[in-house]
Amino acid sequence: MTRVEDALQAAQLGVDAIGLIFFAGSKRYVNLEQAQAIARAVPPFVTVVGLFVNASAAEVKEVLAQVPLNVLQFHGDEDAEFCRQFQRPYIKAIRVRNTVDIEAAAATYTDACALLFDAAVAGQYGGTGQTFDWRLLPRQLNQPWILSGGLNPENIASAIRQSHAQAVDVSSGVEMAAGIKDGEKMQALMAAINGFGLSVD
């Protein structure tokens, strides 16, 4: 989310969480002022996730001091020791190429509140709009996990059926332009997943 109005509409549609990207290399980057406005505007029952890519600990702490984030999401090459130092639950994003990536992540980020499985696209960390082979996903994992990567109103139901995901994370699939959400697409996505009873970010 980069705009208060998009975050409010998502909250109205019933999402469980919204994400704010503090990675300057993203088209969806938000500065501290934007982030504060969005985080303060959303209702208290919507989890505000702050997303970082290979930031320094000082950068993460600076954001935490100024923006009320509930959860941190690390989308780069951060190790578990780095991720667990901030007194916030954390999500570790994994760019999936094969089942070994998933098994290694589950063995490494044991204290993550969730693992997020995303598409692996060379030279990009996330928000790619690309799907990956959902058959690689585990039937059972001793950790909550989130399906991500190229999800949109058209493929979301099939993705959930095939992957058995209990939570999904969607970005470009509900946008009209990078960082600008499309209200109709968000509505269509939520309608498509209605009935699955899962978490949406």
Ligand X SMILES: O=C(O)c1ccccc1NCC(=O)[C@H](O)[C@H](O)COP(=O)(O)O
Given the rule CB under 6 A, which residues bind ligand X?
19, 21, 23, 26-28, 51, 53, 75, 118, 125-129, 148-151, 169-173
For residues 42 and 18, is the Cβ–Cβ distance under 8 A?
A: yes
Closer CB to ligand X, residue 137 or residue 140?
137
For residues 84 and 111, is the Cβ–Cβ distance under 8 A?
A: yes
Closer CB to ligand X, residue 26 or residue 163?
26
Q: What minimum distance in Å lies between the beta carbon of 90 and ligand X?
A: 13
| Burial class for 21, CB neighbours closer than 10 Å (0-12, 13-18, 19+) | buried
Closer CB to ligand X, residue 140 or residue 196?
196
CA–CA separation, 98 and 101 (whole Å): 6
The residue whose Cβ lies closest to ligand X is: 127
CA–CA separation, 116 and 58 (whole Å): 24
Closer CB to ligand X, residue 140 or residue 160?
160
Q: What minimum distance in Å lies between the beta carbon of 163 and ligand X?
A: 14
Q: What minimum distance in Å lies between the beta carbon of 170 and ligand X?
A: 5
Closer CB to ligand X, residue 136 or residue 140?
136
- Three-state DSSP class for residue 173: helix
| Phi and psi torsions of 80, nearest 5° | -65, -35
Q: Which amino acid makes up residue 193?
A: I
Task: Extract the tokens encoding 30.
Answer: 């938000």
Q: What minimum distance in Å lies between the beta carbon of 43 and ligand X?
A: 21
Closer CB to ligand X, residue 128 or residue 140?
128
Q: What minimum distance in Å lies between the beta carbon of 164 and ligand X?
A: 19
Q: What minimum distance in Å lies between the beta carbon of 115 and ligand X?
A: 12
Task: Extract the tokens encoding 162.
Answer: 């095939």
For residues 179 and 2, is the Cβ–Cβ distance under 8 A?
A: yes
